[in-house]
């Protein structure tokens, strides 16, 4: 029987999320890749329990995570049932609905029909009566925003989600969505955008500033640009990397353009000068970003998680280093 590490809260820093009562670990674990049936269940379990044993209390999922879709939730459900059940109240578990999950007109988008039936399916796979956080995974311009937001409000009223969040929303619908939720007495907890040294979308469009003003926390994802910012592609494409996998259309070798490699090499030189790895520079950039509650990471093996955890308490990068990064990437 699994017994959690008694020292698990000695390693991690916990940040308050926006103006809420919730705190999240500086690093949260994402289940998009490598936590479904594309991986061996024992490896998934080892990473999940190691994370919890080292203070990672937040696991981020979605209905469609894992191969096949839903298998990441099923695997976490099994681990919760077999190992983590006594620790459920120490965990903060999120899921999402928004992208295609099942065939036909009701398995995608932002309709009330899709959002609430998907949440029920997620709860079944996870074996839980409620999740801590339920997100609208994307803005669906074909569905009235009020309909999607009321589905989130009702998820809370039905006791199936404690908090709600928004992911990938452009600034204008984000602002409207926040207003609608608040007008129904539900304070949105988190905004989840893609954001990294190389991807300034959420800052450039003002959504990160908006969240800070409105009291939402921010949990950026793809903070390593799916591995580009770990330095692994500087020389070639390693066989065991995400880019080499044929089942992943989201990171292909076409991404490795000459101007990107120039930037990555410059960032690598800066990291070396600072006595850090590029991976450390990338995660520290997120730790030091105003308004960020947690850095959401993906990993493909335990050793990567161990390396990332080793950066939770290294000295934070200075404002000067952040400025240098910005001048390198042309911000």
Ligand X SMILES: NC(=O)c1ccc[n+]([C@@H]2O[C@H](COP(=O)([O-])OP(=O)(O)OC[C@H]3O[C@@H](n4cnc5c(N)ncnc54)[C@H](OP(=O)(O)O)[C@@H]3O)[C@@H](O)[C@H]2O)c1
* Dist. CA 146–CA 152, nearest whole Å: 10
Contacts of 181 by beta carbon, 8 Å cutoff, 6+ apart: 149, 152, 153, 164, 187, 188
Contacts of 48 by beta carbon, 8 Å cutoff, 6+ apart: 29, 35, 59, 76, 79, 84
Contacts of 268 by beta carbon, 8 Å cutoff, 6+ apart: 231, 234, 278
Pull the structure tokens for residue 207. 């959504």
- The neighbouring-strand residues paired with 167 are 192
User: For the window 147-186, what string marks contact with ligand X as x by the rule CB under 6 A?
Assistant: --------------------xx------------------
Q: Which residue, 125 or 232, is less far from ligand X as judged by CB?
A: 232
Identify whether the C-beta of residue 167 lies closer than 8 Å to the C-beta of residue 191: yes
Q: Which residue, 18 or 220, is less far from ligand X as judged by CB?
A: 220
Question: Whole-number minimum distance, CB 230 to ligand X, in Å?
Answer: 4
Question: Whole-number minimum distance, CB 98 to ligand X, in Å?
Answer: 8
Among residues 63, 148, 300, 312, the one that binds ligand X under rule CB under 6 A: 300
Among residues 131, 164, 297, 321, the one that binds ligand X under rule CB under 6 A: 297
Question: Whole-number minimum distance, CB 282 to ligand X, in Å?
Answer: 8
Kindly state the DSSP code that residue 253 receives in the 8-state scheme.
Answer: G
Identify whether the C-beta of residue 114 lies closer than 8 Å to the C-beta of residue 120: no
CA contacts within 13 A on the Cβ side of 276: 23
Q: Where are the beta strands (DSSP E) in the chain?
A: 14-16, 23-25, 27-30, 58-60, 92-97, 131-136, 161-167, 190-192, 217-218, 295-297
Question: Whole-number minimum distance, CB 272 to ligand X, in Å?
Answer: 16
Among residues 17, 24, 32, 164, the one that binds ligand X under rule CB under 6 A: 32
Cα–Cα distances (Å) from 77 to 47, 48, 279, 295, in that order, read 15, 12, 30, 23
Among residues 71, 207, 284, 304, the one that binds ligand X under rule CB under 6 A: 304
Task: With CA atoms as reference, report the closest residue to 309 among 28, 14, 17.
Answer: 28
CA contacts within 13 A on the Cβ side of 269: 8
Q: Which residue, 184 or 260, is less far from ligand X as judged by CB?
A: 260
Question: Whole-number minimum distance, CB 308 to ligand X, in Å?
Answer: 5
Q: Which residue, 95 or 143, is less far from ligand X as judged by CB?
A: 95
According to CB under 6 A, which residues from 191 to 230 bind ligand X? 192, 221-227, 230
Q: Which residue, 32 or 181, is less far from ligand X as judged by CB?
A: 32
Q: Which residue, 221 or 319, is less far from ligand X as judged by CB?
A: 221
Tell me if 279 contacts ligand X by CB under 6 A: yes
Q: Which residue, 32 or 134, is less far from ligand X as judged by CB?
A: 32
Tell me if 232 contacts ligand X by CB under 6 A: yes
Tell me if 294 contacts ligand X by CB under 6 A: no
Tell me if 24 contacts ligand X by CB under 6 A: no
Question: Whole-number minimum distance, CB 6 to ligand X, in Å?
Answer: 26
Question: Whole-number minimum distance, CB 243 to ligand X, in Å?
Answer: 7
Three-class DSSP labels, 260-306? HHHHHHHHHHHHHHCCCCHHHHHHHHHHCCCCECCEEECCCCHHHHH
Tell me if 283 contacts ligand X by CB under 6 A: no
Question: Whole-number minimum distance, CB 326 to ligand X, in Å?
Answer: 19
Candidate segments 28-36, 77-85, 198-206, 260-268, binder of ligand X by CB under 6 A:
28-36
Binding residues (CB under 6 A) for ligand X: these are: 30-33, 60, 137, 167-168, 192, 221-227, 230, 232, 241-242, 279, 296-300, 304, 307-308
């Amino acid at each position: 029987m699994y017994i959690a590490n008694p020292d698990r809260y000695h390693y991690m820093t916990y940040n308050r999320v926006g103006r809420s009562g919730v705190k999240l670990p500086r690093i949260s674990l994402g289940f998009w890749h490598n936590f479904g049936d594309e991986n061996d269940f024992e490896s998934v379990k080892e990473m999940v329990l190691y994370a919890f044993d080292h203070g990672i209390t937040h696991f981020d999922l979605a209905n469609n995570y894992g191969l096949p879709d839903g298998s990441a939730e099923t695997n976490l459900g099994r681990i919760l049932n077999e190992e983590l059940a006594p620790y459920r109240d120490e965990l903060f578990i999120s899921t999402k609905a928004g992208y295609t999950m099942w065939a036909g007109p009701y398995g995608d988008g932002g309709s009330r029909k899709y959002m609430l039936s998907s949440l029920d399916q997620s709860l079944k796979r996870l074996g839980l009566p409620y999740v801590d956080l339920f997100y609208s995974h994307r803005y669906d311009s074909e569905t009235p925003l009020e309909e999607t937001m009321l589905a989130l409000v009702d998820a809370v009223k039905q006791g199936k989600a404690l908090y709600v969040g928004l992911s990938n929303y452009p600034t204008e619908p984000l602002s409207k969505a926040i207003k609608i939720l608040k007008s129904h007495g539900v304070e949105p907890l988190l905004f989840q955008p893609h954001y990294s040294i190389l991807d300034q979308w959420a800052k450039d469009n003002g959504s990160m500033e908006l969240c800070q003003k409105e009291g939402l926390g921010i949990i950026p994802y793809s903070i390593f640009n799916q591995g580009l910012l770990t330095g692994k592609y500087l020389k070639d494409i390693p066989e065991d990397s995400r880019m080499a996998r044929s089942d992943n259309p989201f990171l292909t070798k076409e991404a490795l353009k000459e101007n990107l490699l120039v930037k990555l090499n410059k960032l690598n030189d800066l990291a070396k000068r600072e006595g850090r790895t590029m991976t450390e520079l990338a995660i520290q950039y997120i730790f030091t970003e105003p308004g960020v509650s947690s850095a959401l990471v993906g990993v493909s093996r335990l050793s990567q998680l161990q390396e990332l955890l080793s950066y939770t308490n290294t000295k934070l990068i200075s404002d000067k280093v952040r400025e240098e990064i910005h001048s390198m990437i042309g911000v």
